[in-house]
Structure 1
Amino acid sequence: MHQDSESNGAADGAANGKDGHSRRLTDEEFERYSRQMIVPGMGKEGQLRLINSRILIIGAGGLGCPAAQYIAGAGVGTVGLVDGDVVDKSNLHRQVGHATSRLGMKKVDSLIVHLRGLNPLPTYVPYAFPLDAQNAADIVAQYDVVVDCTDNPATRYLISDVCVLLRKPLVSAASVQKSGQLIVLNCPPTPQGVVDATPRAAPCYRCCFKKPPPPGSMVSCGEAGIMGPVVGMMGVAQAGEAIKIIASALHIPPDPSSSVSPETNLGQPTLLIYSYDLASGVGPYTFRALKMAGRRKTCFACGEGSTLTLEGIRAGSPNYEQFCGLATTTNQTRLPPGDRITASAYHAAATRGELPPHVLLDTREREHFSFGSIDGAVNVPFGQLLVAAAAIKRDGAPAETILPFPAERSGGALPDDAPVFVVCRRGLDSQEAVEKLRELGVDNGGKRKIMDIIGGMKAWRDEVDPTFPFI
């Protein structure tokens, strides 16, 4: 871990008490934060709490950049940033703390350059590596509030579990395509196992999301896409919640021997959902607030009788990747070798005219397909294929109706043994599509070969056509 060597007045104030009442604001701080301090409910006391606080932001991407900007701008004394990734050109449309001039730079270092230009007073602490079960507790323990700006469920469960055990408030958000969500968890922080506080103790991530989403349903921004303003809205909202928690002293754990005071409670936990429709013209975006329940008595992490410990987490119990099904999805091979063909082998056979009449099924989303495809491919997005498969099973329609036909053969029927080749973006969805087609009986009892093109369109670019616009 690398500690920023610069010292400043904000860091010096941390020694003067949790709320910093014995510390005076400097002229620089008065001038910089004056518009913020005159907001009702903030004042000098709230600003001093911010100056003497430490906030950890996990993830320096689409959520982390706007969250960090407003947290640093507000005058939080120490801002920790965790991210092991580097800045890529595809990040820049939404990760507004980075710049073209810093491509290839570690994201935490790039973001700190940006934040220092915005506000040089805070101490910035970079952790240029991923958060994991071995280092999470040591890092989180040093901070008052944690802001989860990550993009995968395994890390979200890990962060929440550690925050429960260390009694840290957690501001969690997620965003993909045209929607996002945000929730404040474990605030005010309550000891593990305490459920029936007054009012009811705030939930953790496991209370709200007992089971992770199915592995196949989780798509990254690289697969599904992301609109910059959407993820930006969620990151800004995270900053607002973190600032509110610190300024209102909600991060200070209550006395374990007493119930939680209503005056220091955030109220009923709420899941905020934001979305908008690109196809709706000038129509408004929408916010929805869903009320969430408090802590669950049976929660694995924070409920009564929980056996979750920091020592167990470090030792690999629970196994977060296994819990979220990532151990199977990271295994690239689901099909036997005889059911797969390389992109180069398919291209060579097609070029030599060795392939019989067949269907080449491209299961990428239409937006991906529009940038380019293999000659003769027909597009049936993976989600649409799954819906069609479910309808066939429900209605008893012939299995072959799920297969599209190339335009030049729109009036014909494929021979019973005509093969089907399936391609996707990187070679995962196509394997599941092959299995689904066989499950429906499209293989005609083994007469028709259904094959996956290994590695998808990325392999096509790497092995066949380096000019192919893979995104």
Structure 2
Amino acid sequence: MDSVANKAEQVREQIARTENELQDLRRQLSELESPIQNLNLDKGPSSISETKQPGDASTPEWKWPLREEEYSRYGRQLILPIVGIKGQLRLKSTAVLIVGAGGLGCPAAAYLAGAGVGTLGVVDGDIVEVSNLHRQIAHSTSRVGMMKVDSLVEYCQGLNPNVTYVPHREHLTPHNAEGIVSRYDVVLDCTDHPTSRYLISDICILLQKPLVSASALRTDGQLIVLNNPAAAQGATDGGPCYRCVFPKPPPADSVVSCGEGGILGPVVGIMGVLQALEAIKLIVSGTGKETDSKPQEPVTPSLLLLSATSTTPFRSIRMRSRRPNCFACSAGSTLTLKELGSGSLDYVQFCGVTTPVNVLKPEERISATDYNDIIGEQSSKGFLLDVREKEHFNIASIPGAVNIPFSTMQSRSTPEYISNVIPVDGPIYVVCRVGNDSQLVAQQLKEMRLEGDGERVIRDIKGGMLAWKHEVDSTLPFT
């Protein structure tokens, strides 16, 4: 069976490589055809008449700014007062960058491609995983293992082949940010971590690009348009940046990932669609890529909050303009492209280093395999405390485990509650998702003197339920 599984894995890898090669060929073809298409568009009405043969009256001269197919494709938005022919031409001449091809980036890219932006760039260094598919709607089961940017571009090409797509198969970093972002007019932050949000905001300030930023977790989301109008550092008429709104990052231990906290697919989808809407509004109004000489009207920044479980799911909070002492966009800012590109700004350090918890000594921990042996050898296997949140516990657990969530363990009433749940004697073992929270709880139990004078064993299971799946029970559902 192992040989069959290995062969299947090799075939999957070969399929992924072939699909990537196909995407490269499509990209090369698109790049080769773009100059030809642009040349024809630049020629305007004369491009068709020049191909007519003398005396040939069968092909009338085309005298309209858009191609015939584009009037059909974009007709339903062309008749909107907010768009019109002027707005559609602005869309066609604008390059938009999406940073992150996940739950936010997929719907945002789809609607921007459908609207007819001229160029759509996508930055992401990850591959498609099965766990992505419930919310990252542009990807599919057949493209698991494929680069996310290639999968998203393929999806958008099927939706609108008239757009020029530029895949950037890498994560945005301080070293490559200027080279990538400088090629675009509007940027969408579709990432999921504070480090990337501060970096994207900083480069947009330095390059004077408007930024549409969103985030989503569990059943909540937020959206804000930053650096709008886009203005140089110190300009009082410029919109606030991410650092103006959030001068300090959240504590590192409070940052919860989708893997830990969960995410409802439609929630992140709504926020991605709203990002596309805000980007389109920027572009058709001329803010994203200014084409008029008239001054722009002041923009009142606001933070849009979504709570999917609330009776009033949306609410808007009015934000202040640029902070006069902002690190990035104020007149006194020392942030430069050279400093950012040099890597001297450590965004990971700024947002807090989230290293694995290491509070227990090696002898105070036990492997999943060893605990499984204890279960089999002893009639009294001790007390197994599972400190995952109840939603994780309800999906799958080790037989005999008792669930007291980590959040409950941190409450003030915990000592009395625990004394009624945990037996007065026998060993205590603690398990969590990946082996971090379990160490903290084991230490907490020791501090509560449940260990006695050392005659009672308190251990945590190294690697948590993930280790249990790898070492003991491969059928265990792990989320």
Which TM-score band applies after superposition, normalised by the shorter structure?
Answer: 0.7 to 0.9
Aligned to 1:383: 407
Amino acid paired to 1:202 = G
Match of 2:478 in 1: 470
Say whether residues 1:28 and 2:69 are aligned partners. Answer: yes
1:126: Cα distance to partner?
A: 0.5
The residue number in structure 2 matching 1:185 is 226
Q: Which residue of 2 aligns with 1:67?
A: 108
Q: Which position in structure 2 is the counterpart of 1:313?
A: 340
> What is the Cα deviation at residue 131 of structure 1?
1.3
Q: Equivalent of 1:414, from 414, 419, 424?
A: 424
Q: Displacement of 1:451 after TM fit?
A: 2.5
Residue 145 of structure 1 and its aligned partner are, at CA, apart by: 0.6
User: Which residue is 1:280 aligned to?
Assistant: none
**What CA distance in whole angstroms lies between the structure 2 residues aligned with 1:119 and 1:442?**
64
Which whole-Å CA distance do the structure 2 matches of 1:443 and 1:320 have between them? 41
Counterpart Cα distance in 2 of 1:323 and 1:254: 38
Output the CA distance in 1 between the equivalents of 2:167 and 2:216: 24
Relative to structure 1, the CA distance from residue 218 to residue 354 in structure 2 (aligned partners, 3 Å threshold; closer, same or farther) is farther
Aligned residues: percent identity? 51
2:365 maps to 1:370: no
Q: Secondary structure at the match of 1:375?
A: coil
Deviation at 1:349, TM superposition (A): 2.2
- CA distance in 2 between counterparts of 1:57 and 1:50 reads 15
Q: Quick check: 1:51 aligned with 2:92?
A: yes
Matched ranges for 1:202-281 at <5 A: 202-252=239-289, 261=295, 263-265=296-298, 267-277=299-309
Q: Distance in 2 between matches of 1:4 and 1:24?
A: 27
The aligned counterpart of 2:121 is 80
- Name whichever of 125-134 and 303-312 sits farther off: 303-312
Structure 2 letter corresponding to 1:371: I
| In structure 1, C-alpha distance between the alignment counterparts of 2:453 and 2:335, rounded to whole Å | 49
Q: Secondary structure at the match of 1:370?
A: helix
Is contact 1:67–1:238 with CA below 8 Å preserved after alignment? yes
Residues 159-178 of structure 1 aligned to structure 2 (within 5 Å): 159-178=200-219
Checking the alignment, whether the CA contact within 8 Å between 2:356 and 2:436 is kept in structure 1 is no
Kept in 1, the 8 Å contact 2:212–2:275? The answer is yes
Residues 179, 311 of structure 1: alpha-carbon distance in 2 compared, 3 angstrom cutoff: same
Q: Is the 8 A contact 1:250 1:264 kept in 2?
A: no
Q: Distance in 2 between matches of 1:243 and 1:429?
A: 44
Q: How many residues align?
A: 433
Which of 318, 321, 326 pairs up with 1:291?
Answer: 318
Secondary structure of the 2:317 match is strand
Q: Report which of the two structures shows the higher radius of gyration computed on alpha carbons.
A: 2
Deviation at 1:441, TM superposition (A): 5.2
Q: Is the 8 A contact 1:11 1:122 kept in 2?
A: no
In the TM superposition, what is the alpha-carbon distance from 1:23 to its structure 2 partner?
Answer: 8.5
User: 1:149-193: per-residue Cα shift (whole Å, max 9, x none)?
Assistant: 111111111111111111111100001111111110011111112
Equivalent-residue separation in structure 1 for 2:101 and 2:357 (angstroms): 28
What is the rounded CA distance, in whole Å, between the counterparts of 2:227 and 2:37 in structure 1? Answer: 27
CA deviation digits over 1:287-323, x for unaligned, max 9?
0111111111111111231111222222222211111
How far has the Cα of 1:452 moved from its partner?
Answer: 2.2
Match of 1:119 among 160, 165, 170: 160
Does the residue aligned with 2:91 lie in a helix, a strand or coil? helix
2:329 corresponds in structure 1 to: 302
Given that residues 92 and 100 in structure 1 are in contact (C-alpha distance below 8 angstroms), is that contact kept between their aligned partners in structure 2? yes
> What letter corresponds to residue 431 of structure 1 in structure 2?
Q
Deviations 1:378-434 (A, max 9, x none): 112222222x2x346xxxxxx35335626xxxxxx513xx44322111112222333
After superposition, the C-alpha distances for 1:104-127 in whole angstroms (9 at most, x for unaligned) are: 111111111111111000000011
Please list every run of 5 or more consecutive structure 1 residues that lacks an aligned counterpart in the other structure: 17-21, 278-282, 393-398, 407-412
Alpha-carbon distance between aligned partners in 2 of 1:108 and 1:307, rounded to the nearest angstrom: 34
Give me the whole-angstrom Cα distance separating, in 1, the residues matched to 2:208 and 2:333: 15
Cα drift, residue 242 of structure 1: 0.6
**Secondary structure, counterpart of 2:305 in structure 1:** strand
Give secondary structure in 2 for the equivalent of 1:44: helix
- 2-structure distance, mates of 1:308, 1:448: 56
Q: Does 1:353 align with 2:378?
A: yes
Distance 1:379 1:227 in 2: 24
CA contact (8 A) 1:334 1:431 kept: yes
Return 5+ residue gaps in structure 2 as ranges. Answer: 1-23, 44-62
1:11 and 1:52 in contact (8 A); partners too: no
What TM-score do you get using the length of structure 1 for normalisation? Answer: 0.85
Aligned partners of 1:4 and 1:124 also within 8 Å: no
**Change beyond 3 A, Cα 1:34–1:462:** same
Contact 1:67 1:239 (C-alpha < 8 Å) held by counterparts: yes
The CA RMSD over aligned residues, in Å, is 2.8
Given residue 459 of structure 1, which amino acid in structure 2 is its aligned partner? Answer: A
Counterpart secondary structure, 2:74: helix
8 Å contact kept, 1:13–1:51: no
Q: CA deviation at 1:466?
A: 1.1
The SS at the match of 1:191 is coil
- Partner of 2:418 in structure 1? 402
Q: Which amino acid aligns with 1:209?
A: F
Distance 1:321 1:403, change over 3 A: farther
Q: How does 1:139-178 map to 2 (within 5 A)?
A: 139-178=180-219
State the match for 2:145 in structure 1: 104
Q: Is the 8 A contact 1:189 1:254 kept in 2?
A: no
Cα distance change, pair 181–439 in 1 and its aligned pair in 2 (3 A):
farther
